[in-house]
Structures are given as C-alpha cells and as structure tokens.
Amino acid sequence: MDDAPAACLSRARRSLEGLSVGDAFGETFVGRYSRIERRAIVDDIAWRWTDDTAMALSLVEELALRADVDEDALAARFARRYQEEPWRGYGGTAHGILTAIADGVPWQTAAKTPFGGQGSKGNGSAMRVAPVGAYFAHDLERAIDVARKSARPTHLHRDGEAGAIAVAVAAVLAARVAAGEQPRDPAAFLATIYEHTPTSLTRDGIDLAMRLAPDTSIAGASSRLGNGSRVVCDDTVPLCVWIAAHHLGDYEDALWSTVAALGDMDTTCATVGGILAAGGAVIPAEWLARREPLPSV
C-alpha cells in the first residue's frame, strides 16, 4: 500500500466521494420508503448531502493539512461548519455540543455533557470517519489512533470511539482487499474489525454480525443488528460493516441494500459508501452527477 502523502490523500478523497454520494442518496429516501422496493431513483428532489458529509469534509481538511488530526483544530472546524450551515441535518446532541464549542466552551467539556456525563455514543463519530481509514490504509494502528482522535471532539463515550474505530478499520481492509493485499473474505473482514474494536456494545454487535449466515436477508440482518433508528453506534455500525463485508467492490448494490434496511438511511449509506469507496468501488456516474457538489478541500 502506497504511503506517500499524495496517495494517502487520494484514497481519502475517494472515500469522501463515496461517503457523500451515499449520504445524499440515502437522504432522498427519507419518508419515501415505497420507492425503495422498486429501486427507483428519486427524480423530483435534489440530492443534498447532510451533516455526515459536512463533518467528513472537516476531517479530510485536517488530513490534507497535517496528515493527522489535531483534536482542538478539528473541534473548531466542526463548530465553524455547523455555524455556517446549521440546517444540514445535525442531531439534537450535535447541535448542543457544536453550539457550545462555537461559544467558546472547551470541547472536552462540551463533548462530555451527553449521556449523563459519559459523552455521546451517537453514530456521528462513525458516519464521518471512513476517509481516515482510507488515508492510513498502509498503517492499521495509525488509522485506529487517528480514528479515536477524530471521535473525541464530539463523542467521548466508549461506544462513540468504538464506532469510529470499527468503521476506520473497515475502510483500511477495503483498501487492502482492492490492492490485492488481502483476500476477499467477508468472515475474515468482520473478524478483523471485531478484533480491533474496543470492548463496547458496538463490538458486541459486530460479534453478532459475524454469526449471521451469509445469505441472511437485509430485513433479517437489520432486525438483529439494528438500522440506525436509535442513532447510536451500537445499532448502526454492526449492520454497516456487515453490508460492506458482503458487497466489497459493488457500491450500487450495497447502497440499495442499505436503504432497504430503512432506519437512519443517510447515515448508514454514508458509512457504507465511505468504506466501499475506500476500496475503489465504482460510484455510478449518474449518482455522482446528481449529488450536490462538494466544496474544494
């Protein structure tokens, strides 16, 4: 795996494209569940990306600037983007944390407030992190370290960090499979994610994902693993990595499977899309054209 900065950033940008298209694709189906069954592209509304992409943009900016993540700088980027476009679909917990940071509250204090002082375990830490795994695909331990740092400004809960680490590891593995450095083996893919995910409810969910039969339907998988409806890592990440494991290299089919699970569709699609694009999965040209343009990084 090429570890030159230009190659690392290219992988991160590719993952960001997959994340943002997935985000915008999933968002178009919110409230339009009947259209999913027919695999009908939504023609009558714009494919707008949400807070998932906004936060991923800040992460990729950090990687482009310093080949790392500075937690203070990342917190400031998150808060600044939120202030510029608060209508992007941020959840209530994120509104509170980012407003506090923008008002000068240290992120260490703001991020600790949710869940009775434990910090947030929401799925926001996981939805934005795939580009980190793509960037550090040559160095798994570094990917894990930076993923943890990327979570902390908004997600100090054990599950918030675990969700970020699990998705970053998945993106590393997807890139390595695409490079021919590892076999395309869904069971091994999930086992490696489980091995590196810290003890948490999210890790327990990945353990359950490992036990599902490969031919489990998407409805069956989501009923066991969750679909993001609770908007926390432990009911979002296990399904996302399970779908990614069984669809490596097939972006389009993976995303249709993901929206079929319903739930938090923009976030699950962003997460799956970012992982698969880290592995070079081809994004349909029509989907790229429909997605709202991204600002330059």
pTM of the predicted protein model: 0.96
pLDDT tens, residue by residue, 133-188:
999 999 999 999 999 999 999 999 999 999 999 999 999 999 999 999 999 999 99
Chain segment 201-252, per-residue pLDDT in tens: 999 999 999 999 989 999 999 999 999 999 999 999 999 999 999 999 999 9
Q: What is the pLDDT of residue 99?
A: 96
User: Which positions ≥6 away from 274 have C-beta within 8 Å?
Assistant: 15, 16, 18, 19, 22, 56, 129, 130, 131, 134, 167, 171
Yes or no: say if 120 and 234 are a contact pair by the CB < 8 Å rule. no
* Percentage of residues in the chain having pLDDT higher than 70: 97
Q: Which two tokens stand for residue 262?
A: 């319903």
Q: What Rg value do the Cα atoms of the chain yield, rounded? A: 17
Contact present, 149 and 213 (Cβ < 8 Å): no
How far is residue 131's CA from residue 276's CA, in Å, rounded to a whole number?
Answer: 11
Predicted local distance difference test score (pLDDT) of residue 118: 81
Q: Where are the domains of the chain?
A: 5-290
| DSSP secondary structure code for residue 193 in this structure | H
For range 275-293, the mean pLDDT: 96
C-alpha to C-alpha distance for 106 and 165, rounded to whole angstroms: 23
Query: Span 29-44, mean pLDDT?
Result: 71
pLDDT at residue 115 is higher than 80 = no
Residue 49 structure tokens: 């990306």
pLDDT, position 160: 96
Domain 5-290, second-level architecture: Orthogonal Bundle (1.10)
In Å, how far from its chain's centre is CA 83? 22
Cβ atoms of 122 and 232 closer than 8 Å? yes
